[in-house]
């Protein structure tokens, strides 16, 4: 029986990094969770030889040292710096992925901040040899329309009880990831992020929806139309159901005014929207 080592990678997950820039009385703050994963010639490590293993503890230290040495700018840029460093300095490492989640704070004063309702910003950077590949994203963007949403005309079978809706609440918590066509081309990381975020929100607001699936496609399409630097958008949209409460027992009507918001189970609508001529992704993401 021949047994062989399959795909493997290793790294430090969820390094919590807070960087303050104390440049005068007005401080700047960035708050990130950074995960590093490395792969390469690591077969020996799986047989007890650590001579090619850069410890995950060192990877964590590198995150903090780079934060001091180079500052923490846009998550994509900081991730590229780290991933490139691991591939270029470690002979056994040929592939590095750095995953960054930026937790948003809004300013209250020169050195005071409040954790924001803004979405979490994400970046996933992959470096192999000379090539770099970037996926940006967001999560925790909760959106709700109180009307302009219907759901009917669906399949009915012996188990269907759902009443048709001609006017319902549509709510979701957007998780979006989008793949850059070419790293370093087009707008800045920050303005691209803002552009995609705004496009997703605009499409959610402006689409008269017959299903969350239709809204998903409208959101992804709008982001691609507005931001030429991205090739593909993947969306995960939980349907945050709001059901009308039956107030008849109290002698009251309910003209789409009183709802119960439920958290589970929930519909989960997922989809990818991409350009016809998008080059295939060079890496799984
Ligand atoms: O927008 C929706 N899409 C569905 O597929 C679905 N299924 C369901 O029960 N409610 C909804 N709403």
Q: What is the pLDDT of residue 208?
A: 98
Substitution candidate for ligand 1 out of 162, 166, 239 with most atoms within 8 A of CB: 239
Q: What is the pLDDT of residue 232?
A: 98
User: Please, is 235 exposed, middle or buried when counting C-beta atoms within 10 Å of its C-beta (0-12, 13-18, 19+)?
Assistant: buried
Q: Is 227 in the pocket of ligand 1 (CB under 6 A)?
A: no
In the chain (285 residues long), the average pLDDT of successive 10-residue segments reads 96 98 97 98 98 98 98 98 98 98 97 95 96 97 98 98 98 98 91 98 98 98 98 98 98 98 98 95 92
Closest listed residue to residue 239, CA positions, set 258, 272, 265? 265
Q: What digits encode the pLDDT tens for the residues 94-147?
A: 999 999 999 999 999 999 999 988 899 999 999 999 999 999 999 999 999 999
Q: Are 253 and 206 in contact (CB under 8 A)?
A: no
* Annotation says 56 is catalytic: yes
The ipTM estimated for the assembled molecules is 0.99
Question: Which positions ≥6 away from 55 have C-beta within 8 Å?
Answer: none
* Annotation says 4 is catalytic: no
**SS3 of the chain:** CCCCCCCCCECCCCEEEEEEECCCCCCEEEEEEEEEEEEECCCHHHHCCCCCCCCHHHHHHHHHHHHHHHCCCCHHHHHHHHHHHHHHHCCCEEEEEEEEEECCEEEEECCEEEECCCCEEEEEEEEECCEEEEEEEEEEEEEEECCCECECCCCCCCCCCCCCECCCCEEEEEEEEEEECCCCCCCCHHHHHHHHHHHHHHHHHHCCECCHHHHHHHHHHHHHHHCCCEEEEEEEEEECCEEECCCHHHCCCCCCCCEEECCCCCEEEEEEEECCCCCCCCCCC
What is the rounded distance in angstroms from the CA atom of residue 168 to the CA atom of residue 259? 10
State the catalytic residue, choosing from 56, 92, 146, 181: 56
Q: Are 229 and 180 in contact (CB under 8 A)?
A: yes
Substitution candidate for ligand 1 out of 212, 236, 237, 264 with most atoms within 8 A of CB: 212
Q: Is 268 in the pocket of ligand 1 (CB under 6 A)?
A: no
Atom nearest to 214 CA in ligand 1: 1
Q: What digits encode the pLDDT tens for the residues 33-56?
A: 999 999 999 999 999 999 999 999
Q: What is the pLDDT of residue 184?
A: 79
Domains of the chain: 10-43+52-129 (3.10.270.10), 136-285 (3.10.270.10)
Closest listed residue to residue 260, CA positions, set 238, 239, 245? 245
Substitution candidate for ligand 1 out of 150, 151, 168 with most atoms within 8 A of CB: 151
Q: What is the pLDDT of residue 185?
A: 82
Compute the radius of gyration of the chain from its Cα atoms. Answer: 23
* Annotation says 240 is catalytic: no
**CA of residue 22 to ligand 1 center, whole Å:** 50
């Amino acid at each position: 029986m021949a047994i062989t080592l399959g795909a493997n990678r290793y790294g430090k997950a969820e390094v919590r990094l807070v960087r303050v820039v104390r440049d005068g009385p007005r401080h700047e703050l960035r708050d990130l969770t950074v995960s590093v994963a490395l792969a390469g010639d690591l077969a020996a490590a799986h047989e007890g030889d650590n001579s090619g293993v850069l410890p995950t503890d060192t990877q964590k230290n590198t995150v903090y040292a780079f934060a001091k040495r180079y500052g923490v700018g846009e998550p994509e840029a900081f991730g590229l710096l780290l991933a490139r460093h691991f591939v270029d300095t470690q002979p056994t490492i040929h592939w590095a992925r750095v995953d960054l989640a930026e937790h948003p704070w809004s300013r209250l004063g020169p050195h005071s901040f409040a954790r924001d309702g803004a979405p979490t910003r994400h970046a996933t950077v992959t470096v192999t040899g000379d090539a770099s590949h970037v996926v940006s994203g967001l999560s925790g963007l909760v959106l709700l329309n109180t009307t302009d949403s219907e759901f009917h005309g669906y399949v009915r079978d012996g188990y269907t009880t759902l009443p048709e809706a001609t006017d319902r609440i549509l709510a979701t918590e957007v998780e979006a990831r989008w793949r850059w066509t070419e790293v370093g081309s087009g707008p800045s990381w920050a303005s691209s992020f803002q552009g995609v975020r705004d496009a997703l929100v605009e499409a959610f607001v402006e689409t008269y929806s017959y299903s969350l699936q239709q809204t998903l496609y409208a959101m992804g399409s709008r982001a691609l139309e507005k931001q030429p630097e991205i090739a593909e958008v993947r969306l995960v949209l939980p349907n945050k159901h709001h059901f009308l409460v039956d107030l008849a027992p109290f002698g009251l009507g309910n003209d789409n005014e009183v709802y119960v918001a439920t958290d589970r189970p929930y519909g989960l609508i997922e989809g990818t929207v991409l350009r016809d001529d998008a080059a295939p992704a060079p890496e799984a993401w």
